[in-house]
Amino acid sequence: MPEGTGALREVLPKQGTGGEHRPALAAQPAARSRPFSPFTGQLSMEDTAAMVLCKPKILPLKSVSLEKLEKLQRAAQDAAQPPEAAPPPSAGAAPPRQ
Amino acid sequence: IQAAWNLKTRALTEMVYVDEIDMDQEGIADIILDENAIAQVARPGTSLKLPGTSQGGGPSPAVRPVTQSGRPITGFVRPSTQSGRPSTMEQAIRTPRTALTARPITSASGGYVRPGTASMLTNPDGPFINLSRLNLTKYAQKPKLAKALFEYIFHHENDVKNALDLAALATEHAQFKDWWWKVQIGKCYYRLGLYREAEKQFKSALKQQDMVDTILYLAKVYLRLDQPVTALNLFKQGLERFPGEVTLICGIARIYEEMNNISSAAEYYKDVLKQDNTHVEAIACIGSNHFYSDQPEIALRFYRRLLQMGVYNCQLFNNLGLCCFYAQQYDMTLSSFERALFLAENEEETADVWYNLGHVAVGIGDLNLAYQCFKLTLVNNNDYAEAYNNLAVLEMRKGHTEQARALLQTASSLAPHMYEPHFNVAILSEKVGDLQRSYTAAQKSEEAFPGHVDTQQLIKQLKEHFAML
């Protein structure tokens, strides 16, 4: 997941002039006086921090034991809930076993 | 008739049997009032309580979400991974404890009451075996019956004291020569919190009969005593005697992961796969490591393997969808997410999937869709801090500063360990000119993630500003 360390905002002059005369790279590429640089023609550079998003979440897989535990807990909960009119589930609600 | 009784006992136990090696639910009281720590301040890298600096490298919190204990999200969750080590009581109460609900278990014994109601489930007319009327001495003399009975009492009834009595009598009867009983006594002591005694029992059992299980139990004791290095040494010695034993290698990898040494953990998980290339935990962990190290295609391969093996649940499809998207295989992405939504068993899982879908939406530039996805996340799970944070970012883009601020407030209070909400509050406040608030928020962000370059730059800027005044 690519993420740069900060958002870069370049301020580029309109139409590449802004007072600077760019050499015309015309007929003879071999006769180019200076190497091409992406920053040619750039006036100023602003390093403004942007708000960050929280990252996408890879969900952890559950182990077999965990799934069985969850199933048991769910079954216990379901068993405990329906007999509400009946006397309270004695085994479940009793003080923790010593 | 004895055979029938034996069979029924073992069948009932099997119904609720959860491998003790994995079972490790620690209650809050046990954690906060833990007197087993040996050193007050442990040296870095020797304690499980302090995640320590990420000495092993691995993705920083700038790329990988972090759980409440400060550790990065792992690829695999077991009954014991749920317990982080909270430093304050408040954090402890907030950490979800049970496998299902977020309600905390107050203490270990309380937690086991739930599974103890298994006896109610299986026998609505009353318990199969009435413990109070049992003559343990009589049963202790018959080793075969005694073993089945012990397992029943321990797992089905969750009555550790009676189980311990039975085990003690049986060991005496066997003249202390039976390693199995020593291990069982050790397990009882572990449940009761008497870790040093448990350690003694396991060690003596190991001397008598070298078994992988005993090594695993002993390592659990050491981990509970917050001695990861001892546990590591134990595993390594065990590997000399049982070369290539997958559970031991896996144990080592887990410990390294707990200590935040991701690179060593990855190495050992790879070893596990060399021995057993269907090991789900290793595949899942390596997959998630690759994803967060900017290699989604490789992560995709791992998760595809899991699919091949027949793992078929919401989490896997969610991960597949994410990897496909970031690996630019857009054809599979949405259908994987659809499947994930279909397979979600509860609202929390649904919320997770919608959250990741929100990310996909942001990635394709459809901010309206992203907004809806994050809102759906919140519908399913009101406490989803990341969704609040991301919604705030979207609102900021639309220019709704006040709403963004409110959302960030919620996010940062729900998840103070995350640096993103704090950082965003800092940026927001700086934009509107509230420099004091910006500074405090930036401080909090730095606390949560000291390596964040933007936070440091922001703090530097603010300090210069204040110095000028």
Which tens digits make up the pLDDT trace of B60-119? 777 777 776 666 777 777 776 544 444 455 555 555 444 433 333 343 343 444 444 555
The secondary structure element, H or E, covering residue A46 is: strand A44-46
Q: Does B336 touch chain A (CB under 8 A)?
A: no
Least CB–CB distance from B110: residue in A59, A60, A96: A96
Return the residue in A47, A61, A65 with the most chain B beta carbons within 10 A, the one to mutate for interface testing.
A61
Q: Render each residue's pLDDT in chain B as its tens digit; 469 residues.
A: 778 878 888 888 887 777 666 666 555 555 555 555 555 565 666 666 655 544 445 567 777 777 766 667 777 777 765 444 444 555 555 554 444 333 333 433 434 444 445 554 555 555 566 666 677 777 777 777 788 878 877 877 778 888 888 888 888 888 888 888 888 888 888 888 889 999 999 999 999 888 898 999 999 889 888 888 999 999 999 999 999 899 999 999 999 988 888 899 999 999 999 999 888 999 999 999 999 999 999 999 999 999 999 989 999 999 999 999 999 999 999 999 999 999 999 899 999 999 999 999 999 999 999 999 999 999 999 999 999 999 999 999 999 999 999 999 999 999 988 999 999 999 999 999 899 999 999 999 999 988 888 999 999 999 999 998 8
Tell me the chain B residues in contact with residue A71 when contact means C-beta distances shorter than 8 Å: none
Longest CA–CA separation in chain B, Å: 91
How far apart CA B267 and CA A89 sit, in angstroms, is: 49
Q: What is the pLDDT of residue A2?
A: 47
Tell me the chain A residues in contact with residue B280 when contact means C-beta distances shorter than 8 Å: 61, 63
Of A95, A97, A67, give the one whose Cα is nearest residue B191.
A97
Q: Taking the model in full, what pTM does it have? A: 0.76
Q: Does B445 touch chain A (CB under 8 A)?
A: no
Q: Does B164 touch chain A (CB under 8 A)?
A: no
How far apart CA B219 and CA B197 sit, in angstroms, is: 14
Once rounded to an integer, what is the mean pLDDT over residues A48-54?
84
Q: What is the dihedral of CA B354, B360, B365, B366, to 10 degrees?
A: -30
The residue ranges of DSSP E strands in B10-145, in sequence order, are 76-77
Per CATH, the homologous superfamily of domain B383-468 is Tetratricopeptide repeat domain (1.25.40.10)
Least CB–CB distance from A76: residue in B75, B114, B291: B114
Nearest chain A residue to B162, by CA: A98
| Pairwise CB contact (< 8 Å): A6 & B121 | no
DSSP classification of residue B174: T
Q: What is the pLDDT of residue B372?
A: 96
Of B251, B185, B245, B246, give the one whose Cα is nearest residue B216.
B251
Tell me the chain A residues in contact with residue B158 when contact means C-beta distances shorter than 8 Å: 97
Q: Does A57 touch chain B (CB under 8 A)?
A: yes
| Pairwise CB contact (< 8 Å): B284 & A61 | yes
Where along chain B do its domains lie?
383-468
On whether ipTM exceeds 0.85, the answer is: no
Residues A68/B14, Cβ–Cβ less than 8 Å: no
Q: Is A98 helix (H, G, I), strand (E, B) or coil?
A: coil
Instruction: Provide the chain B residues 411-430 that lie in CB contact (below 8 A) with chain A.
Output: 418, 420, 423-424, 427-428
Q: Does A27 touch chain B (CB under 8 A)?
A: no
Tell me the chain B residues in contact with residue A75 when contact means C-beta distances shorter than 8 Å: 121
Token couple for B51 = 């995640």
DSSP B282-326: HHHHHHHHHHHTT-HHHHHHHHHHHHHTT--SHHHHHHHHHHHHH
Q: How far is A45 from chain B (nearest CA, A)?
A: 16
| Pairwise CB contact (< 8 Å): A51 & B99 | no
How far apart CA B27 and CA B87 sit, in angstroms, is: 14
How far apart CA B253 and CA B263 sit, in angstroms, is: 10
